[in-house]
Chain A
Amino acid sequence: MWIVQLAWKNLWRNANRTMITMAAIFFAVLLSILMSSLKTGIFDNLIKDMVGYYSGYIQVHQAGYWEEQLLDNCFEENSEIQRKIRSHSQVREISPRLESFALASTGELSKGCLVLGINPVQEQSITHLSEKIVKGRYLSSNDLGILVSEGLLKRLKSYVGDTLVLFGQGYHGSTAAGKYPIQGVIQLGSPELNDKTIVMPLALTQDLYSATNMITSYVLSLQDTDDLMAIQSSLEKKLGKAYEVMTWQEMMPDIKQHIETDSANMKYVQAFLYLLISFGIFGTLLIMMAERRYELGMLVAIGMKKSKLSLLLLFESLFTVIVACILGILASIPVVYYLHKYPIRIYGEGAKAYERFGFEAVFPTSTDYHHFVNQGIAVLLIGLILSMYPVIKIIHLNPVDSMKK
């Protein structure tokens, strides 16, 4: 107990140094938590935009569809295959889609668009599409209206209640054409999708393309998205060669690539930050040990065991590191939550750069507790390892040499 008391007193023998060390560790923890939570938050957001609201984590198509995304590569919806997919324990819900292209026209303006035929009820349990409605109302299965993405609506200079004409090529070379009232507007996170998407009820879409009962894909919602590969391979086995099972990473390799590069870059920044803290802590330890050289030699000379002296110095540095880490974590909590609720948003040129890649220029933080714990532990470990320096010095301390002037 008296060792702890002495450690405490020693900490304040040079209060400025202790405060500066603690401040450095404090900001390092704060910064690395923020960085780590931003990194994950940004990627989660990206995946949510692209994967959550559009592709889903896993899709099932007729074999070869992804290579050649033609309406002619669609397949007939049947309960047998649905049953097989649903029988996988990780599959929570599946939703059929018929996806194709069309020209949307108001009479004055025509734009190419992506037509997404969905089952409004099942889709809801996967992509929560109704949450993306900014005007008008969401679809129900028998509706004859359509949802238009915000960007496309703007490009067509149209409003809810207006009617759009869709032209395209139907199943097996037939002509597809139809008139549809705009029943709602959706805002999609991905700027690319937001500029070209039309969503309509599956039956209506099948009607447009003369593809009765046909779909291009099943979009799957899963219990747990951590091990997609395992789910993919077991589904492949169940469904056989006539179907392909694809993960979002396979369907959108650029996003996967982007996340991987950014993650790697982030790791370098983080490593640099850790290096900086390490040098900071080590520097103060170095000075502290040099200043107390005589005194430490004197303590060993009068009979203080090296184990006790090491413990004393360990308490001193651990106290500094642990308290600063805890304060850093505590301070980061409100910051992270604030930036989660009110994410950083980039405007202007910077934003355009992101949007070119199909990402929203919004950077929310992730509030996953792992960021706090992991970064806290990382800095703590650095502190622990560096705290070994005084201990090593003590082990090699020779009182006669230390007390030499």
Chain B
Amino acid sequence: MDNTVIDAHNISKIYNKDNIPVYAVNNVHLHVEKGEFTALVGPSGSGKTTLLNLIGGLDLPDEGNITINGKDITQMSPSELIDFRLKNIGFVFQSFNLIPVLTAKENVEFIMQLQGIELKKREQRIYALFEQIGLSDKLDSRPSQLSGGQQQRVAVARALASKPKFILADEPTANLDTQSANNLLDIMYKLNQEEHMTFLFSTHDQRVIDRAKRVITLVDGRIVSDTAKQNLPA
């Protein structure tokens, strides 16, 4: 059985700065399999966000193809893409992931409502998810009543709630203190180990890089190294 979830081929994204073309992503090949826990690293401006946006179907590449779970997302119409994202990809952004007027529980429930999942199943799943992120006591808190770390954990729960093929997280710990960052990584790692959830996250935080199983390094939009930790000498 083919375990490929992400297959990006020769993708490039070009922006024009003062009429000079700038390659934010330059001829990238990327292959991600189910169960990976991969970090995308590189200095600021190296193209991490741009690459994640392309893989997540938020943006279209100027060159190349991206296949997610066997489907070429570069051929989809904008509305097909939205639906595809809902059904296949979980997103965790750097901050402001949540709808401020909804409680933590309602925020997680929201994505399942978008998917048209019935109430009973939603409820079951919500309690299990909050158990997993360790916030069973914060179900009815508004985002403003949660710490940054707690908000990010709820965002992970929401990403997970939609049962995606993989979760994309763009610098999920960038705004967190060390303990919260560790805590979030623990949860993500556990979900990866226990549920084989695939994670692809960008970061320039060494604490996070250390936890990744595979590290892909970007410089000026190019992949300059791609290393799997298992294969490294101890």
Contacts and interface: CB of A to CB of B under 8 A. Distances in A.
A303 B96 contact: no
A133 B58 CA distance: 82
B211 interface: no
A2 B99 CA distance: 14
Contacts of B83: 303, 305
Nearest to A299: B99
B87 interface: yes
Contacts of A87: none
Contacts of B93: 298, 301, 403
Given A9-B101, A9-B102, A13-B100, A304 B114 contact: yes
B85 A2 contact: no
A302 B96 contact: no
Contacts of A331: none
A299 B97 CA distance: 9
A2 B79 contact: no
A300 interface: yes
Contacts of B100: 13, 295
Contacts of A295: 96, 99-100
Contacts of A12: 101
Interface in B85-108: 85-87, 89, 91, 93, 96-97, 99-102
A65 to B, nearest CB: 75
B162 interface: yes
Contacts of B53: 400
B4 interface: no
Contacts, number: 59
A306 B96 contact: no
B113 interface: yes
Contacts of B59: 400
A302 B86 contact: yes
A269 to B, nearest CB: 39
**On chain A, which size bracket covers the interface?**
20 to 34
Contacts of A400: 53, 58-59
B58 A301 contact: yes
Contacts of B159: 302
Category for how many chain B residues contact A: 20 to 34
B82 A304 contact: yes
A306 to B, nearest CB: 7
Contacts of A300: 82
Contacts of A2: 110, 113
Nearest to B53: A400
Given A295-B96, A303-B162, A306-B82, A6 B111 contact: no
B79 A306 contact: yes
A10 interface: yes
B76 to A, nearest CB: 13
A303 B102 contact: no
B101 A303 contact: no
Contacts of A306: 79, 82
Nearest to B87: A303
Interface string A366-405: 0000000000000000000000000000000001100100
A303 B97 contact: no
A300 B84 CA distance: 12
A294 interface: yes
A308 interface: yes
Contacts of A303: 82-83, 85-87, 89, 111, 114, 162
Interface of A: 2, 6, 9-10, 12-13, 294-295, 298-306, 308, 399-400, 403
Given A301-B58, A303-B87, 7 more contacts: A12-B101, A303-B114, A303-B162, A304-B86, A306-B79, A306-B82, A400-B58
